[in-house]
Each structure stands twice: as C-alpha cells, then as structure tokens.
C-alpha cells in the first residue's frame, strides 16, 4: 500500500503503520559524507538566513551544502540546500537551479518531496524543501530487506516518476542516493489546518 508522509506529525507512529513511503527529489549533489572545499561552511549552527535558522549540517557535495533548519515563521523543520558560490556564480547553473526548483514545486504527490521556497541572501542561493526523516535507498539496500518491502518501494518510486512525467518533468538524476525512504505516519490527506 502506498502511504503518505506528513511533515506535521512529530511522533513515531511506525508501529501503527509499518509500511514505507518514498519521496524523491533533486539532490544537487548534497549527499552525506561527501567533502566540498568550495562550500566549506556557508552557515554555522544557529545562524539565520531569511526566516530560516540553521540547526545542523546534513551533507556536502560538489554542488553545495544541505542543512536541517527551522522555518521560524511556520515553526516547522525544513531542509535548506545551498549552491556553492562557484556554482551560484554561473548564470547557466543558477538558471537551471531555479528552473528545476519551480518545476519540482509544481508537483503535488505524496511520494515527492515538497519544495517550499527558493531564495537568495547576499551571495547565498538556496532552496527550502520538506525535511524528511528516514534514510536513502542506497543505505537501505546495503542491508537485508524483505522482497515485499522492496516491491512496495519500487511501486512508490514508479508512482512518483509517473506523476512527474505526467507534468512533463523529468528527474535527471534517479539513483538510490536520491530516493529517500520514510516511515508512514498518516493515512489521509490534510485538507485544512
């Protein structure tokens, strides 16, 4: 069964709903454990940019750095992905970044990570997106996994890709490192607040 990920739930309901939900997003090379000399320390813990307060570094890559942050206006956790200064300085790369962020933000599907915002402050260009708790498919397939779970994950990835392709959006970097597996915490859509 395809499940939903609700970023508003702050308690572990995995024992009630043990299925997994899969979200995919454009990673911009911000994979955990990769070193980036260009984007060494764009933010420091507790520093704010726009209305986001950085909490911890999630990963570094050739294109930039990803942080877990708090949206101080809406009081939720988000992931901020910053382009490194050399990439942000390239008009072509910046244009591609903005185009991909706009395209991704137009998608509304339970298996696709939500893009909340793009912004720039000073020379720091960033995207704010839904913060997910879980692990990448690359890390999961490195451990013993039941066939039923792998088939469920595969079906959800296909559903997400189908939704994107229906909107004529192509994810150009599908790989296990860019597929995030979360615990399902809610079974119905949140229709109002």
Query: For residue 105, is pLDDT > 60?
Result: yes
Is 174 contained in some domain? yes
Residue 57 CA: distances (Å) to CA of 27, 47, 107, 158: 15, 12, 26, 30
pTM of the entire predicted model? 0.70
Say which residue, 85 or 24, is predicted with more confidence: 85
Is 38 contained in some domain? yes
Bridging pattern class, strands 76-83 and 179-183: unpaired
The average confidence (pLDDT) of the chain is 74
Query: For residue 65, is pLDDT > 60?
Result: yes
Reported as type and span, the H/E element at residue 190 is none
Domain count, the chain: 1
Expressed as residue numbers, the domain containing 119 is 20-183
Catalytic residues, which ones? 173
Q: What is the pLDDT of residue 44?
A: 63
Q: Which residue, chain included where needed, has tokens 């692990």?
A: 135
Is 80 contained in some domain? yes
Question: 5 and 109 in contact (C-beta within 8 Å)?
Answer: no
Is 133 contained in some domain? yes
SS percent in the chain: helix, strand, coil, step 5: 25, 30, 45
Residue 34 belongs to a domain with what CATH number? 3.30.200.20
Under the banding of pLDDT at 50, 70 and 90, the label for residue 43 is low
């Amino acid at each position: 069964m395809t499940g939903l990920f609700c970023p508003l739930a702050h308690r572990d309901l995995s024992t009630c709903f043990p299925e997994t939900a899969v979200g995919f997003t454009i990673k911009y090379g911000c994979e955990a454990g990769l070193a980036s000399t260009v984007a060494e320390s764009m933010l420091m813990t507790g520093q704010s940019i726009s209305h986001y307060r950085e909490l911890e570094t999630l990963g570094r890559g050739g294109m930039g750095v990803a942080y877990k942050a708090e949206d101080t206006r809406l009081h939720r956790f988000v992931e901020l992905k910053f382009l490194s200064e050399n990439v942000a300085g390239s008009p072509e790369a910046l244009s591609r970044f903005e185009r991909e962020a706009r395209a991704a933000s137009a998608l509304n599907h339970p298996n696709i990570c939500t893009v909340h915002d793009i912004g720039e402050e000073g020379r720091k260009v960033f995207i704010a997106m839904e913060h997910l708790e879980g692990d990448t498919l690359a890390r999961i397939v490195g451990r013993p996994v039941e066939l039923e779970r792998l088939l469920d994950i595969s079906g959800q990835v296909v559903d997400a890709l189908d939704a994107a392709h229906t909107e004529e959006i192509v994810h150009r970097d599908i790989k296990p490192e860019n597929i995030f597996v979360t615990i399902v915490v809610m079974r119905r859509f949140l229709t109002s607040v």
